[in-house]
Chains A and B, each alone.
Chain A
Amino acid sequence: MRGDRGDLIAILQEVQARFSYLPEEAMRRVAKFVNTSESQVYGVATFYGQFRLTPGGRNTIRVCLGTACHVQGGARILATVENELGIARGGTTPDGAFSLETVACLGACALAPNVTVNGDVHSHLTPEKVAKILAEAAKKV
């Protein structure tokens, strides 16, 4: 069976949805499937911000760094999350519970600053509020 080269991004998205990242072996197989070189697949995987090459945590925290969030103190929110989790953006906690990502804009600018926890948007945040949300999420882990 051969896949369509034009579907490469969609295929990688499916792979990541399944494994939380793009395992090397999966990328090799995808390259064969769509009949392109491994370097092409790696090029796409590293070009787009959505893809990760290392496993993600069981919970994903995304801090929005859009303009409205920045104006409303988004940098302080990110600093708080980094402090609380003890990891920098792009990282995963050693126990695999949380990974921390930043996003250019969630499009909920009117409610800035925003953070998502596993896709749920939390709005009008302050450093105190976001610390509380993280503590809640940690309890569920």
Chain B
Amino acid sequence: MSFEETRSRAISEWQALEHSDKPRILIGAATCGRAAGALAVLEAINSKLAQHNIDAIIIQVGCIGLCYAEPLVEIIKPSRPHIYYGNLTPQLASQIIEDYIIKDNPRPDLALGTTGDKSIKNIPKFFELPMLKPQVRIALRNCGHIDPENISHYIANGGYGGLVNALNMSPEEVIEEIKKSGLRGRGGAGFPTGLKWEFCRKSPGTVKYVICNADEGDPGAFMDRSLLEGDPHAVLEGLLIGAYAIGATEGYIYIRAEYPLAIERLKVALNQMADYGFVGDNILGSDFSFHITIKQGAGAFVCGEETALMASIEGKRGMPRPRPPFPTQAGLWGKPTNINNVETWGNVSAILQRGGEWFASYGSERSKGTKTFALAGKINRTGLIEVPMGISLRQIIYEIGGGIPNGKDFKAVQTGGPSGGALPANLLDLPVDYESLTQAGSIMGSGGMVVMDEDTCMVDMARYFVNFTKSESCGKCVPCRLGTKQMLDILEDITEGKGKIEDLDLLIDLGNGVKAGSLCGLGQTAPNPVLTSIRYFRDEYEAHIRQHRCPAGVCPALTK
């Protein structure tokens, strides 16, 4: 079957679904939804439908990002607007089936919003909600809308059109298109993607590899998990396009073992791709052949670092090695290797579907497109969001996130996890782009954003992050192995009231040394939480040291 035939079949299937005379119920059943009780809600819905002999179409979808409102369902009755209901319990869900599906009362008191041309009285438009209005969904374009285990849904929504476009171009033209888009690495470092591809393409050698880094180890981040669970094909299509552009015949997805559902979804997706001829030999009848293998991590944060990740794929301990040579010159098994993160690959497929210029029309001067963030911590609306680059932290935290719960004061927001920094209230108007965040002492990171309020102790947070990086340091280089240990000892002293005021200068000296002297990104960024918290919250350190007082009331030794 040609791709055009495949596509028109998928579109017919999708339209049949859209115009079905049966009610449709979409339930968010990604890891977050399940943890919030989605499967029990699903069971209640099924039994209610069975009880009334109602034939409905039920689809388990990925995450639409309103984690605070999980479990979440979308109900679609023929020729009516779609209605979203959140915070469901099995009882509530079964009541809604009774009221809306059977008695045609849409229960505006329980509804979150509607989508579609028409509206329903007393229910707001879903995408006009403060949490959704500022968002632009490119990487997450299909999450929550399609069945992630049905490749036809993806194809009907433009999927694999990017691959077909790429195969009709020369590899160099594909690289040009990516350069035109301005896409930079979404793993956090922000290296221009097109340039990296070009280095790898130009590296001498006939065997080359591409890798998808799905080792989302930053505690407090779940963007990549959500994307893989909600729309695995978007990532896989990106990987295929990259392989074609670079001239690679083999690819790996390195994914952490803590994400069983994402691994399952990837396996299902790969099988479907093989059935459709999107992976394997002579893809879509072209000369391009490409094979993909899934490799599971085994619980080591450092494996998110590219050279450590490749060592792990080779079955070794995940220890980084010095660069150069860069992976694009000598990577996996010594061959030229291009490695990008999950979200980057998800953007690549969108760019080849819709064009580099389209992508570059979003974002700021030097940071094009959008960025996903996982909003968590002391914030009203926790969730997974995607916003245009350049948006302010204030808009993210107050408009989208709905501010701080229980009338408490905002204290800081941590971007970039253990590699990033805590930014204070007076930096809330900072635009979110690679350069601004780095200048403020933090980093863009992969997208974890943990909000802290007045009850969070910044010294304790610095201790928490350094304890993490100390434990996860692979031990290969001295500055990281011993530097993080010494920093932790000092921070523990301070949280126990045994600190000295000169410890602060020592921490700064030590931190700068660890940054400058470490072999890989783990050590080079490990001091960031300490350095930024001293820079912005020095008074809290001084209260611990001089007055033996923890202003937030967190440190156990100082609160009794």
Interface residues of A (CB under 8 A from B): 4-10, 12-13, 34, 40, 43-44, 47-51, 65-72, 103-112, 114, 119, 121-123
CB distance from B213 to the nearest CB of A (A): 15
In the complex the two chains form, what is the Cα distance from A43 to B474 in whole Å? 12
Q: Which residues of B contact A114 (CB under 8 A)?
A: 35
Which residues 19-39 of B have a CB within 8 angstroms of A?
31-32, 34-36
Q: What are 8 sample pairs from A and B whose C-beta atoms fall under 8 A apart? A: A9-B295, A68-B376, A104-B219, A104-B468, A107-B222, A107-B225, A107-B258, A107-B259
Which residues of chain B are near A67, meaning CB under 8 Å? 219-220, 376-377, 414, 417-418, 448, 450, 464-465
Contact check, B220 vs A66: say whether CB atoms are below 8 A apart. yes
Contacts of B296 in A (CB 8 A): 9-10, 13
Contact flags (1/0) for B168-195 with A, using CB distance below 8 Å? 0000000000000000000000000000
CB-based contact A9/B35 at 8 Å: no
Chain B residues with Cβ under 8 A from A108's Cβ? 31-32, 35, 222
Does B472 touch A at the CB level, under 8 Å?
yes
Given contacts A48-B300, A71-B450, A109-B382, 10 further A-B contacts (CB under 8 A): A34-B315, A48-B297, A67-B219, A68-B376, A104-B468, A110-B32, A110-B68, A110-B383, A111-B36, A121-B34
Beta-carbon nearest neighbor of A119 in chain B: B260
Q: Are B456 and A71 in contact (CB under 8 A)?
A: yes
Q: When A47-B318, A49-B300, A67-B417 are in contact, do A110 and B472 touch as well, CB less than 8 Å? A: no
Task: Tell me the bound Cα distance from A69 to B377 in angstroms.
Answer: 8
CB–CB B315/A6 < 8 A:
yes
Contact among B221, B222, B298 with A9 in the assembled complex (CB-CB below 8 Å): B298
B299 A50 Cβ-Cβ under 8 A: yes
Query: Which of chain B's residues have a CB closer than 8 A to the CB of A40?
Result: 316
Residues in chain A near residue B403, CB distance under 8 A: none
Let me know if B35 and A121 touch, CB within 8 A: yes
Task: Tell me the minimal C-beta distance from A66 to chain B in angstroms.
Answer: 3
Chain B interface size range: 35 or more
Please encode chain B, from 280 to 304, with 1 for each CB lying within 8 Å of some chain A CB and 0 for all others: 0000000000000001111111000
In the complex, whether B216 has a CB less than 8 A from a CB of chain A is yes
Please indicate the chain A residues that have their CB under 8 angstroms from the CB of B374 in the complex.
109-110
Interchain nearest-CB distance for A3 vs B (Å): 10
CA of A10 to CA of B294 in the docked complex: distance in angstroms? 10
Dominant SS among interface residues on chain B: mixed
Q: How far is the CB of A45 from chain B (nearest CB, A)?
A: 9
Contacts of B317 in A (CB 8 A): 43-44, 47-48
Contacts of A4 in B (CB 8 A): 315
Q: Is the CB of A110 within 8 A of B218?
A: no
* B315–A44 CB distance below 8 A: yes
Decide yes or no whether B483 CB sits under 8 A from chain A. Answer: no
Most buried by A among B70, B313, B314, B377: B377
A35 to B300, CA, bound (A): 24
Within the assembled complex, what's the spacing in Å between the Cα atoms of A108 and B378? 15
* Complexed CA–CA distance, A50 and B260 (Å): 14
* B:230-276 near A, CB below 8 Å: 257-260
Interchain CB contact under 8 A, B313 and A6: yes
The 10 A-B pairs of least Cβ separation, nearest first, read A110-B67, A49-B299, A66-B219, A67-B220, A110-B382, A48-B298, A8-B315, A121-B35, A105-B219, A68-B376
B377 — which chain A residues lie within 8 A by C-beta?
A: 67-68, 71-72, 109, 112
In the complex, which residues 43-93 of chain B have their Cβ closer than 8 Å to any Cβ of chain A?
67-68, 70
Q: Given contacts A71-B378, A109-B221, is CB(A50)–CB(B35) below 8 Å?
A: no
CB-contact partner of A105 in B221, B314, B382, B465, under 8 A:
B221
**B94 on the interface (CB 8 Å rule)?**
no
Per-position binary interface string of chain B over residues 304-316, scored 1 when its CB falls under 8 Å from any chain A CB and 0 otherwise: 0000000011111
Whole-angstrom CA separation of A4 from B70 in the bound complex: 43
- Per a CB cutoff under 8 Å, which of A7, A104, A112, A119 touches B217? A104
Q: Which A residues lie within 8 Å of B299 (CB)?
A: 48-51, 103-104
Do residues B35 and A65 form an inter-chain contact, with CB atoms below 8 A? no
Query: In the complex, what residues of B have CB within 8 A of residue A7's CB?
Result: 315
Residue picked from A5, A12, A67, A69, most chain B C-beta under 10 Å: A67
Q: How far is the CA of A34 from the CA of B299 in the complex (A)?
A: 22
Which residue of chain B lies nearest to A36 when distances are taken between CB atoms in the complex? B315
Residue in A40, A65, A105 whose Cβ sees the most chain B Cβ within 10 Å: A105
Please determine whether A71 and B68 come into contact, CB atoms closer than 8 angstroms: no
Q: Is the CB of A13 within 8 A of B225?
A: no
Is B35 touching A5 in the complex (CB atoms < 8 A)? no
Chain A residues, Cβ within 8 Å of B465: 67
A31 to B259, CA, bound (A): 28
Whole-angstrom distance from the CB of B540 to the nearest CB of chain A? 15
Query: Which single residue of chain A is at the shortest CB-CB distance from B333?
Result: A6
- Shortest C-beta distance, B228 to chain A (Å), equals 10
> Is residue B514 contacting chain A, with contact meaning CB distance below 8 A?
no
A69, A71, A121: the one within 8 Å of B31 (CB): A121
Cβ-closest chain B residue relative to A6: B315
Residue of B nearest to A72 (CB): B377
Residues of B within 8 A of A34 (CB): 315
Q: Are B221 and A107 in contact (CB under 8 A)?
A: yes
Q: How far is the CA of A11 from the CA of B533 in the complex (A)?
A: 43
Known: A5-B314, A10-B296, A123-B35. A110 touches B221 (CB 8 A): no
Residues on B with C-beta less than 8 A from A50 are 257, 298-299
Contacts of B414 in A (CB 8 A): 67
- CA separation between A77 and B34, bound complex, in Å? 21
User: Contact at B218–A105, with CB atoms within 8 Å?
Assistant: yes
Q: Does B330 contact A (CB under 8 A)?
A: no
B339 on the interface (CB 8 Å rule)?
no
Please determine whether A109 and B472 come into contact, CB atoms closer than 8 angstroms.
no
- Would B376 and A107 count as touching, CB distance under 8 A? no
The reply to whether A104 and B222 contact each other, CB–CB distance below 8 Å, is: no
**Complex Cα spacing A140 to B285, Å:** 55
A111 to chain B, nearest CB (A): 5
Chain A residue, CB-CB nearest to B381: A110
Contact with A along B458-491 (1 / 0, CB 8 A): 0001001100100010100000000000000000
